[in-house]
């Protein structure tokens, strides 16, 4: 069956940080209002809303949209851990591509300061019971990767130095101060070899985009960005497929996304990737095809993934500098990509960027394997 | 744009009840396996899974499908309170109608015995802080309805007597024993005039259906049921539109559903409606157009909505007899409708039924108004 092109025609977000006094619904409403204002829309254009949240509880979308008077429409709340709102985007682009809706508001929101005590855990979450928490998983992968490929602690730390440097010019980031290599390496050890500054920080935040048809894109105030690919995969959990240095779900999802877009990794001009930990960004360079196995350290050492290099990664500052409200992160990456592709990213602009990739993955259900990976490829061409 | 017909080609569920020792993911996996077995499928046919849960926490779909080896596919977890899994069905039928997927597994699951203590509440949930809990809201509506239309406490109780009678022959129901009018009226008062037996019970449970294209429907083991309409609405929250005796969101959603199906209320042969409280079922008779304002008592007194009557409502026993795991309820209603439309409902069969309506509504964000109403109209014709 035929489908039609799908565009991102509005984008906005609330600054990531600590918003203890602001209900999650107000954060989400603020992001939605920003996306509508960005598009020059008053809300009447919107046919449905898909809202991603991991920890927000019940009916986050309805609570949010009530604040801004967007009432009556179909609203679906979507949960996929770190990929919650990027999954909502995936569903929205399908609905628009199919002609089921002409414009859908997609919001991502989470508020981690509101969750008192430890995060809730499933009774069948054996990994968690064994202490196999995300920092421990990534620390183990880091040690293996260093052993296999000769990457150093400085290589790992350089991811953090780079991303914190990018975020100096991002007023939506939790951390807007640069850090030195010594500060990263000297910060408290969380899980050897990962120091505190190499782990993303919990945060509160919300981000929103409007996904729409070509007709609505033409009516919007900003130049449209087209979604060339939108892929969502779950894990394979295959015991014969557990190379700790290669995140299989991202490799597979990326292959599908490049095929859908008709592009190669070399066609991507910048990317927002899921740097929950410094090592994660390095693994994803390779899983996304930006370099070969073990070559991530060279991209970092050459500055290729710094703004000004040939393939900037996380010009927004990534999770490490922006902070990580899981439900909001996927759409926040897309907001950054839209601003960059429009040429509106100010001092952190990736010059001449036409094609962008955003990558979100999470929901570790079984150690190394993630439950949900999403990749979007976007273009201003 | 053209869309294609969408069918329900497999259906199954776990008994609703207390499953303290069984993780939610296993309940959900059991329902999914039952739906696959019902269709005669081995799982290779399934292109995606959409999983509704309200209280299940993060990654319920991924945890469930891992148990039955359905790996790698796109999985989205969906939350819309009582309409969580019916919203997942709404999204799934759109994706199949549009040709994005050929067969999607839709699961609903919740486990309320696992939630220790009171259910979590939003900081902006003013109604809850004021004691405006669901029983209080429905008790108030009941009193107003009785005042306006002369319905009696016996009329209210007769909903419960009817639904408990229906469930005597439903081995998936939490309560499989009939109750008398005296037992209903004599049970503990929860919120005047609603007695305990007129309030649905918390339960654990899961239900699943397979939604697919005509090509897959032809390959399935069972005769297919077609989805004629699938509608999802959110609340309007308009202060000038608050007739306590008329649930506006259901009225509006029903109008859209009938228009989509090209049917009238008089074309419906039986319905599964959201009888969270006895008064709710009466309000929904009217909101769904089964009778005029204030006329619900006559349908009940005449036995029209009892199996054997002209328009049986809740032949499964409804929420009142089956129990109510919110995330599972929407798909459990559809499982009942599928069994009835196939003529496989045994002693509780609605004879000659061709067209069915399922109605799920919930997520009270502001007193009377619900956040998500879903209506599906199904046919075996």
The B residues from 191 to 230 touching A (CB cutoff 8 Å) are none
Q: Scanning every residue of chain B, which has its alpha carbon at the shortest distance from the alpha carbon of A232?
A: B74
Report, as an integer, the average pLDDT of A233-246.
Answer: 81
Whole-angstrom distance, CA of residue B260 vs CA of residue B97? 14
Q: DSSP secondary-structure letter at B202?
A: B
Q: Among A77, A230, A239, A256, which would you mutate to test the B interface (most chain B Cβ atoms within 10 Å of its Cβ)?
A: A77
Measured from the Cβ of residue A91, the count of other Cβ atoms closer than 10 Å reads: 28
A1: tokens are 């069956």
Instruction: Check if the beta carbon of residue B208 is closer than 8 Å to that of residue B196.
Output: no
Q: B228 in helix, strand or coil? A: strand
pLDDT tens, position by position, A17-59: 999 889 999 999 999 999 999 999 999 999 999 999 998 888 9
Q: Are B122 and A27 in contact (CB under 8 A)?
A: no
Whether the predicted pLDDT of A330 surpasses 80: yes
The packing angle between helices A24-39 and A60-67, to 10°, is 60
User: Token pair 């770190």 is at which residue?
Assistant: A82
Whether the per-residue pLDDT at B192 is higher than 50: the answer is yes
Please write down the HEC assignment for all residues of chain A.
CCCCCCEEEEEEECCCECCCCCCHHHHHHHHHHHHHHHHCCCCCCCCEEEEECCCCCCCHHHHHHHHCCCCCCCEEEEEECECHHHHHHHHHHHHHHCCCCCEEEEEEEEEHHHCCCCCCCCCCCHHHHCCCCHHHHHHHHHHHHHHHHCCCHHHHHHHHHHHHHHHCCCCCCCCCCCCCHHHHHHCCEEECCEEHHHECCECEEEEEEEEECHHHHHHCCCCCEEEEEEEEECCCCCCCCCCCCCCHHHHHHHHHHHHHHCCCHHHCCEEECCCCEHHHHHHHHHHCCCCCCCCHHHHHHHCCCCCCCCCCECCCCHHHHHCECHHHHHHHHHHHHHHHHHCCCHHHCCCCCCEEEEEEEEEEEECCEEEEEEEEEEECC
Question: What is d(CA B333, CA B289) in angstroms, rounded to the nearest whole number?
Answer: 19
Across B57-85, average pLDDT: 94
Question: Tens digit of pLDDT for each residue in B278-333?
Answer: 999 999 999 999 999 999 999 999 999 999 999 999 999 999 999 999 999 999 99
pLDDT at B118 over 60: no
In this complex, which of B98, B231, B233 lies closest to A1 when CB atoms are compared?
A: B98
CB contact under 8 A, B122 and A238: no
Measured on CA atoms in the order B122, B126, B127, B129, is the torsion positive or negative? positive
Give residue A117's pLDDT: 45
Given a cut of 90, whether residue A2 has pLDDT beyond it is no
Give the residue on A whose Cα is nearest the Cα of B122.
Answer: A57
Beta bridge partners of A230: A376
Burial of A176 (0-12, 13-18, 19+ CB in 10 A): middle
Q: Could you read off the pLDDT of A116-174 as tens digits, one per residue?
A: 444 555 666 666 677 778 899 899 999 999 999 999 999 999 999 999 999 999 999 99
A-chain residues within 8 Å CB-CB of B373? none
Q: Is the pLDDT of residue B39 over 70?
A: yes
Beta bridge partners of B373: B233, B361
Structure tokens at A251: 């490799």
3 state SS for B3-65: CCCCEEEEEEECCCECCCCCCHHHHHHHHHHHHHHHHCCCCCCCCEEEEECCCCCCCHHHHHH
Residue range B324-344, pLDDT digits in tens: 999 999 999 999 999 999 999
Q: Which residue do the tokens 């640069």 mark?
A: A178
Helices (H), chain B: 24-39, 60-67, 84-97, 126-129, 134-149, 153-167, 181-186, 214-219, 248-261, 278-287, 296-302, 318-322, 326-342
Give catalytic residue positions of A: 82
Inform me whether the pLDDT recorded for B365 exceeds 90.
Answer: no
Give the bridge partners for B168, in sequence order: none
Q: Under DSSP, is residue B127 helix (H, G, I), strand (E, B) or coil?
A: helix
Tell whether the model's pLDDT for residue A365 goes beyond 70.
no
Interchain contact, B235 vs A81, CB within 8 Å: no
pLDDT of residue A241: 63
Q: Which residues of B touch A231 (CB under 8 A)?
A: 74
pTM of the model: 0.96
In Å, what is the CA distance from A40 to each residue of A8, A61, A104, B106? 13, 21, 15, 37
Q: What is the pLDDT of residue B238?
A: 73
Residue-wise pLDDT for B13-37, tens only, equals 999 999 988 999 999 999 999 999 9
**Is the minimum CB–CB distance between B58 and chain A shorter than 8 Å?**
yes
Pairing of strands A7-13, A225-233: antiparallel
Is B206 a residue whose pLDDT tops 90? yes
Hey, is the C-beta of A65 within 8 angstroms of any chain B C-beta? yes
B66: chain A residues, CB-CB within 8 Å = 235, 237, 365-366
| Mutation site, A3, A32, A74, A100, interface B, largest B CB count within 10 A | A74
ipTM of predicted assembly, 2 dp: 0.94
- pLDDT top residue among B2 and A186: A186
Question: Is the Cβ of A95 closer than 8 Å to some Cβ of chain B?
Answer: yes
pLDDT category of residue B117 using cuts at 50, 70 and 90? very low
């Amino acid at each position: 069956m035929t489908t039609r092109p799908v565009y991102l025609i509005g984008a906005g977000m609330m600054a990531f940080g600590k918003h203890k006094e602001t209900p999650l619904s107000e954060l989400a409403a603020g992001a939605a209002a920003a996306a509508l204002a960005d598009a020059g829309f008053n809300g009447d254009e919107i046919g449905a809303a898909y809202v991603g949240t991991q920890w927000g509880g019940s009916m986050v979308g309805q609570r949010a949209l009530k604040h801004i008077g967007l009432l009556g429409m179909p609203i679906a709340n979507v949960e996929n851990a770190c990929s919650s709102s990027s999954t909502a985007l995936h569903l929205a682009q399908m609905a628009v591509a199919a002609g089921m809706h002409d414009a859908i508001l997609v919001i991502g929101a989470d508020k981690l300061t509101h969750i008192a005590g430890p995060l809730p855990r499933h009774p069948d979450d054996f990994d968690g019971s064994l202490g196999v928490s995300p920092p421990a998983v990534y620390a183990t992968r880091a040690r293996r990767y260093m052993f296999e490929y000769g990457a150093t602690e400085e290589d790992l730390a350089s991811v953090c130095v780079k991303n914190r440097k990018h975020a100096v010019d991002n007023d939506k980031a939790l951390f807007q101060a640069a850090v030195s290599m010594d500060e990263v390496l000297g910060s408290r050890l969380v899980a050897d070899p990962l120091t505190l500054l190499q782990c993303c920080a919990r945060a509160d935040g919300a981000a929103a985009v409007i996904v729409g048809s070509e007709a609505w894109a033409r009516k919007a105030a900003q130049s449209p960005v087209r979604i060339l690919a939108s892929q969502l995969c779950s894990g394979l959990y295959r015991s014969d497929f557990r190379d700790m240095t290669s995140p299989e779900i991202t490799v597979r999802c990326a292959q599908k996304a490049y095929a859908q877009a008709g592009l190669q990794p070399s066609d991507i001009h910048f990317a927002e990737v899921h740097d929950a930990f410094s090592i994660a960004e390095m693994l994803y360079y390779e899983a996304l095809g930006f370099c070969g196995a073990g070559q991530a350290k060279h991209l970092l050492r050459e500055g290729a993934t710094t703004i000004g290099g040939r393939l900037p990664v996380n010009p927004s500052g990534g999770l490490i500098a922006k902070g990580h409200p899981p439900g909001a992160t996927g759409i926040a990456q897309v907001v950054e990509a839209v601003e960059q592709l429009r040429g509106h990213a100010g001092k952190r602009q990736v010059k001449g960027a036409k094609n962008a990739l955003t990558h979100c993955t999470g929901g570790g259900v079984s150690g190394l394997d993630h439950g949900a990976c999403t990749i979007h490829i976007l273009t201003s061409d």
